[in-house]
Chains A and B, each alone.
Chain A
């Protein structure tokens, strides 16, 4: 694609307060190769959570940024991300989705790697010359792997800034989530692996869209009303805000009408939980002070870590990451995140609240899938060229029903797509976090 074509995909008219995205951004197949190089290989991409691999030898094999990788805790206790391809002739060395292993043996010719990626076994190794050195043939790895409070990210840009700097203003919002447990948060067993017949960037937008809540999710609000919630409160809550957090990250945060397991009571929880949740809030106040505790317990947040990690801390916490297979098809992995020291009863309640809204069988997410798939079908009308994302552009403090958070994403996306010089991506030996 020509530079000029890319440049014209986004109109950011701050003077008039108009923001437009060309629908080619969602439909053009040539764009994917640019996105792969200029966006996905120039950023930090979420790979998993350290709680998914608690013991030495624990591993998860999954796709990250379109690549089969192994998230593994080595025998040395360190967490690594290994590229799941034999350095001999390419077969995947790990063909189970999860487990515990000291070694990964390629079934093709029995080359064997330890769980730190070193090549430790080559049948018939007397057949090789002196130039053949096992130390050059360990499993590959992304050049950078770092974690922030258990969230493991990889980057194919060897020179990218440290993760903690990259997170910029999003770090604070991750802290609001991670501070919910003194001991640490954990990913709950059970992956929601699903998809949408839509462009991945539509899901970025949808995941932090306050404007669609009452309409697209009417049936969820009907559930709240039937449970005794006063949804008219939505209009009078303390100021919800959409914010740009730097580097393309964004968030919407507000006092929700629904309850929060930590720690905001609401009728759908049942009267019996009220005292416990109020005490929980006081406990957080004692630990963190009133303001931080208020933010943790009384507000929901939909957080984007650019480019493709969404963490929604709403009526439960979901981690959602997704990747384009084609311009009109994306695949998603979603999990529930929870305090690791949560009681079994609280865990059960949390998962129940999760499913009232979230996930491909909930009362809400299926209607989001429907909405985005409908948009993608609408884009077949090529003559309608532009999406409008101007809501709140002239407001000093945009609200959650405005579109500032989407504009933050698009501005960063556009900046990266126009950057013609991308860093080299030499693969290195696996590094531990």
Chain B
């Protein structure tokens, strides 16, 4: 990794996002959690209000760092039945763009298609990511991660039980 954020290239960010995707697809969720800051947030807005604010709009997921950690604990435990046994997933990340840089903080967007394969079905989650990344100790960490679905509804997906 490079020493200062102004030298971080799109290629660096892509490497980071590809590594993140690999950790999630491989269910290495503890290692994934270590990519997040201690004040990280993870959000998935409802499909009809993609630009809402979780304080006044009903979301699908709006985790603070504690709730995100609990989510990971659950997914690695036995009782998250929707993911026990775990689904096969495959994340495709593209259209990665660094939108802005300020101090040690980068705003990054990307497109995603996440396939979830379970019980004979393939559910395809399509959308875009908005990340706030911070450059710290020579590497990048995730302070904010929002997965904005382009789906009109979670139909036939039925749920977002993986880390999207």
Contacts and interface: CB of A to CB of B under 8 A. Distances in A.
B158 A195 contact: yes
Nearest to A188: B58
Given A97-B48, A195-B157, A329-B156, A190 B79 contact: no
Interface stretch (A75-83, A363-371, A416-424): A363-371
Nearest to A97: B48
A231 interface: no
A431 B125 CA distance: 41
Interface in B25-84: 44-49, 52, 54-62, 67, 70-71, 73-74, 77, 79-82
Interface stretch (A34-42, A254-262, A348-356): A348-356
B164 to A, nearest CB: 8
A222 B74 CA distance: 9
Contacts of B153: 193-195, 331
Contact of B58 (A97, A226, A336): A336
Interface in A211-248: 216, 218-219, 222-223, 226
A14 B22 CA distance: 57
B56 A344 contact: yes
Given A190-B52, A193-B48, A361-B61, A219 B157 contact: no
Contacts of B45: 190
B81 A216 contact: yes
B155 interface: yes
A359 B155 contact: no
Contacts of B122: none
B61 A194 contact: no
A262 to B, nearest CB: 17
A191 B58 contact: yes
Contacts of A369: 82, 158-159
Given A222-B74, A222-B79, A188 B57 contact: yes
Contacts of A222: 70, 73-74, 77, 79
B82 A352 contact: no
Contacts of A218: 79
Contacts of A189: 49, 52, 56-58
Given A219-B74, A369-B82, A370-B82, A192 B57 contact: no
B2 interface: no
Interface string A340-384: 000010011001101110011111011101110100010000000
Contacts of A185: none
B65 to A, nearest CB: 14
Given A218-B79, A223-B74, A344-B56, 15 more contacts: A189-B56, A190-B59, A191-B48, A192-B46, A193-B154, A193-B155, A194-B155, A195-B158, A196-B158, A222-B74, A222-B77, A351-B59, A360-B60, A361-B59, A367-B81
7 contacts: A192-B58, A351-B58, A352-B62, A356-B67, A360-B154, A361-B44, A370-B81
Q: Which 5 pairs across A and B sit closest by C-beta, in order of nearness?
A: A190-B58, A193-B153, A218-B79, A361-B61, A361-B60
